[in-house]
Structures are given as C-alpha cells and as structure tokens.
Chain A
Amino acid sequence: MNLRKLIWLEFKQHKSQLVSGLLAITLGIAVIVGIRSISVVSEKAVAVNLDNLGANILVLPQASNVDNYYSADIDAPTMPEEYVDKIVTSNLQGVDNLSPKLTRRIKIKNENIVLTGILPKNEIASKPMWQQSGLLGNDIQTSCASTNSANQSLGLKDEKLQRKVIDSLREDECLVGSAIASRLKLSDNNNIEILGEKFKISKVINETGTIDDDRIFIHLRKAQQLLKIPGQVSAIEIMGCCNAISDGLLSKLRNVLPDTRITTIGQIVATQIQTNKMMNKVSLIFLIIIVFVGGISIGNFMWANINERRKEIGMLRMIGFNKATIYKMMLTKAFVLGVLGGLIGYVLGTMAGMWLGPELAGLPVKPVPSLIFVSLIISIGVSIIGSLIPSYLAGRIDPFKNMQEV
C-alpha cells in the first residue's frame, strides 16, 4: 500500500463523481482547443494571403516619402546600404525578410521606365550574418507572414523558372516588367542597353498589375555603379511579422535607424492585426470562463468528495497521516483530474475543430500538437487552483471523527 495506490483505489470507487467533476474542465479545454485549432489555420491563411501582397514595412531616407519612392525621381533621397546590416545585427524579433532597393527613373528609347536595383537571393545567401538571422525567409509561422520567394506560390505558370532567375540574377542580366517589354518589344534572352551598358534579358516578368510591370530590375551593385550612387539605396522593404509590428517593431526599428522614415502599409498590417487580436480575444474570453467555471466545478467536486469522506480522512489523520500528506493526496488527485481533463479536452477539441473548421472557416484543420501542452498546463493549473481550498479544509478535519462519543 502506498499513497498512489490509495488515490487510485479511491478514484475507482468514485467513477461517476469523477466524470461529473471532469465535465466542465474537459468541455472548457475542448472549446479552447477547438477555437485555437481553427484560428491557427485561419491566421496562417491570412498570413499567406497577406504575404502574397508583398512587404509590409518600408524604410525610407528621412527626407523621402512613399511618393518619392514610387515615382523614383532623379533627385529622390537615398540612404546608406549599411543600414541593412544595422537591422540585421540588431537581431530584432519579427523581421522576416529584407530587400534593399535602389530606384531611379531613366529613359530607354524615349520610354520612361523605373530602373530598380535589387539583391538576388544568391547574393543574400552569401551573407552568413543574414542567414543566421533567418532573413532568407522562414517556414511560415502562425500569424506571421513569410517570404514570397521561399514559401509562397506566385501563381505563375513557369514559377520554378521565374524563381531560379530571380535567385541568380547576374550583373549583366536584367528582368523586365511586362508593360515595358510590350512597349519596347522585348522578350526573353534579348539584349537591352541601359545607361550605356548592355544587359541580357534573363526573363520578362509576367503581368502583375503592379508598378513592377513598368520596372526593369538589375543587380543592386550594377545599379549603384550605373547611377553613380555607390553604397546607397532608395528603400529597404521589410517583411515584418504582423504580431511583432503590433508589439512595437516599428519603434524598435526607429531606434536602430533614427535618421530614417519607417512606415507600414497600414491597411494590410491593420487587417492582420485585427484578425489576430479578435482570435486572441475569443481565446482569452474562453480561458477566463474555463478558469472560473472549471475551477469552481473541480473545487465543488473536491469539496463534495471530501465531505463524503470526512470520517475516512479523520481516520487517516488519527492513524498518523499528517496534514501535509492529506494535502498531497488531495492535490495529487487534482493533478490527475487536470491531466485527464487536459488530454480528453484536447482530443475532443481537436476533433471538433477538424469537423467544424471546414464548415465555419472553409479551411481544413489539422491537429495542433503544441496545444496538448497548453491544454495540460491550463487544465492542471485550474484543477489545482480549484482544489486548494478544499484540500486545505481536508487537512483541517478533526482526527477524532470516528470516536463514538464525539
């Protein structure tokens, strides 16, 4: 005989009580897990959609503004390229992808085009510090956008080829927007002269419906050389995790780069933040409900159990069980209830999520293993907190409850 066996035998004796005691906490956990399972997928879907819209933070020179950036005027302000390294070395959380750009409006065959210098991925990959910072694009995270090139479909027919070209753009190659190609009658592998230098068109980019259709992309180094502004960039586009943005990423970036103008593409960020906040609020509301209802339910079960066993507990105290041992027995029981409630709640919640997810959110929902730990922590915590007062009172039961005259 030992305490564990004694607790187990007592559990077996009060199976029906156990079920009713577990009901509230199990259902509460199931609701939280169900909501989270759906919201995780939903947030991920939102993140993917937003990611396809592009970068959400723009770092511009102090004297510049978004109009300057897009118009790419000849005298538009620039800033040092080393600012990219400053961001990287600051190790800010939530900065997912960096893209320094130099843009200038130039003329080719009397056509106004925007020449844009970019860093191809193979050059970024050669920067160990950038890689260590995870700026090459991570696997998509819940409520955090990922990089286009690394993870997401661009919806192009020759997508693999397109990516390959962008990844490995050489200094004598360029990418041409569809509108420019159409106006200048250019196609893949043609040559084009830009500011007196010949470039091979490695790819005509399919129509995107954005300003990119009117751009020619060349290697950033070449752009700096041709435009005679070495070591300078017009902007740094950042793919920032939206949760990090809501947690103050912009002000942290401003601290790192005080003499720059940092803006977000407000509507996009706001949409995701709003969605995420709503999901989190719903989860929080249920968490509060489960803490109260689950805690009271478990406390009520424990209190009823202790009242029913007053003589038994009195006898245990009489034969030498001290108060600490009684507390230990009661809290162990609460712990086991918490584990059972957490596990059963996780299974029920996951099943509900998988069943209701496609109906409610139009998304297939998969089990989220990390929610097992969350479920267990909440369930065990609520169960133990709800049992504290009954356990304390159990320890105070008079040991002489079995004496005939008392």
Chain B
Amino acid sequence: MILKTTNLCKNYQHKDGLINALNNINFEVNEGDFITITGASGSGKTTLLLSLAGLIKTSSGQILINDFDIASASDGKLSAFRKNHIGFVMQSFALIPYLTAIENVMLPLAIHKLKNNIQTERALALLELVGLGDRKNHFPKELSAGQQQRVAIARALINQPTLILADEPTGNLDPTLAEDILNLLKSINTEKGITILMVTHSPLAAEYGNQKIHLKDGQIV
C-alpha cells in the first residue's frame, strides 16, 4: 500500500454556511495502481488531489503516503516530500515560458544537488521517452498543446517520484492528443511501475484506471 486516507474531511466556511468539500473519504492505493477520480464539477475531485499533495490543509482525518503523514506535516516537510516523492501533471501544463523544453524538465532538479551532466542526461532520456528528444531546445510557445503536456509529464518524472498526481491532464487537448497522453501515462504506469492518481471528468479517460473513484458532493459513491 502506497497511499491511505482515513475519514478525510475538508470543510469550507462560506457566507451561505458550512460546505463539506470532502466528507469522510476512505480509500487505499497500492503501488503501481492507476487510479482515476471522476465526478461532476464541484464534487471535490481537485480538493481531494490538493489534499493528497499536502497543498491544502484538511479539516480532519489522515492521509498516509509511504507512511508519511501528510495531514499533520509542516509546510517545510511537505515541500521536501513533494520534491522527492511526487510528480505533478496539470491541465494547464504549467510550463515556464522562458525556459526551453529541457530546462522545464530539469526545473524540479534546481533544488536537488545533482551535477549538471546528470541532470541533462536524465532530462534528455525523459524527453526521448515522451517522444520529444528532437525538441529539447524549443520553448513552450514553439510546441503544440500535446507536446507541451508531454514536456510536463517528463518534468513530473524527473525527480523519480513514487506517485504522480494528474489534474485533468487531457482537459486542454483534442480527443486524439488526449488519447496519446493517456496512453503515455498508462505506459509510464505499467513500464516504470509509478503509481498515478488522475482527476478527470472524461469517462473515456476514467477507463484507463485499474481503480475508479467517483465523487459526488464530497463523498465516494
């Protein structure tokens, strides 16, 4: 087991009253799983993903990733944990426009004490893996949406994470490109054994998961 949530709750205080964004969430993820989290807008998918990454504080409950207690850790420890164990793939790609593809891929290593040649080797190998070895010196604006997402996936892999958290990774892509990206994530999951948790509202994308979590009003249904 790589991840476990126990009685996870997240409440927001709103002018209209208390909102239960996450309500008593319990699930387990094993190493090598590909989990898809689906649900309508506002069902709590992204809140759950943010909570799992320690990016927002939960109201109650426990999150354990590799026995590290996310819910009670300090900001500094959470940063270190994300740096070493988690890769992120976002709908908006979140590439830095003034960095080339290879520089974007190497970005997480700026806070690792790795020699430059090792960084370059690793980044080049990942760009090859996502099929962009010949685009390493291209800036994001010189790449298509699908290529940008591939760079983002390579960046998520550079710190050799145990878990990839993906938030609507195909949301900005047309169906063909979306399928390419999903196939890429699936191959990374199966070939590298990296656990993936993917939030999506696409039923087609949800089919890629070996375990599916469906949220409704902050609860697993």
- Which residues of A does B touch, CB under 8 Å? 1-3, 5-6, 9-10, 12-13, 311-312, 315-325, 398-400, 402-406
Total contacts A-B at CB 8 Å = 93
In Å, the complex CA distance between A320 and B85 comes to 10
Q: Which residue of B42, B47, B55 has the most chain A CB atoms within 10 A of its CB atom?
A: B55
Q: Known interface pairs A1-B109, A319-B108, A400-B56. Does A405 touch B41 (Cβ–Cβ under 8 Å)?
A: yes
Q: Are B98 and A9 in contact (CB under 8 A)?
A: yes
Asked if residues A6 and B167 are in contact (CB atoms below 8 Å), the reply is: no
Contact B98 A403 (CB under 8 A): no
Query: Chain B residues with Cβ under 8 A from A6's Cβ?
Result: 107, 110
> Which A residues are CB-close (under 8 A) to B167?
403-404
How many Å lie between the Cα of A315 and that of B92 in the bound state?
Answer: 11
The answer to whether A1 touches B103 (Cβ under 8 A) is: yes
- A2 to chain B minimum Cβ distance, whole angstroms, is 5
Binding site for A on B (CB under 8 A): 41-42, 45-47, 49-50, 53, 55-56, 75-76, 79-80, 82-84, 86, 88, 90-92, 94, 96-99, 103, 106-111, 116, 119, 155, 159, 167-168, 171
> Across the interface, which residues of B come within 8 angstroms of A12, CB to CB?
98
Q: Which residues of A contact B41 (CB under 8 A)?
A: 405
Q: Would you call A10 and B98 a contact (CB within 8 A)? A: yes
Q: Which residues of A contact B92 (CB under 8 A)?
A: 311, 402, 404
Bound form: Cα–Cα A3–B108 in Å: 10
Given contacts A12-B98, A319-B82, contact A403 B107 (CB under 8 A): no
Q: Which 9 A-B pairs have the closest CB atoms?
A: A320-B83, A13-B98, A322-B79, A1-B106, A405-B46, A404-B91, A402-B94, A320-B82, A400-B55
Bound-state Cα–Cα, A320 to B155, Å: 13
In the bound complex, CA of A324 to CA of B76 (Å): 9
Q: Pick the contact of A325 from B97, B111, B119 — CB < 8 Å?
A: B111
The smallest C-beta distance from B171 to any residue of chain A, in angstroms, reads 6
Note all chain A residues with C-beta closer than 8 A to B96: 312, 315
Q: Determine whether the beta carbon of A404 is less than 8 Å from that of B168.
A: yes
Nearest A residue (CB) for B77 = A322
Bound Cα distance A400, B47 (Å):
10
Identify which of B42, B56, B90 gathers the most chain A CB atoms within 10 Å of its CB: B90
Of A12, A13, A315, A325, most B-chain CB atoms within 10 Å: A315
Q: In the complex, A311 Cα to B93 Cα: how many Å?
A: 11
| B159 contacts across to A, CB distance below 8 A | 319-320
Q: Are B90 and A2 in contact (CB under 8 A)?
A: no
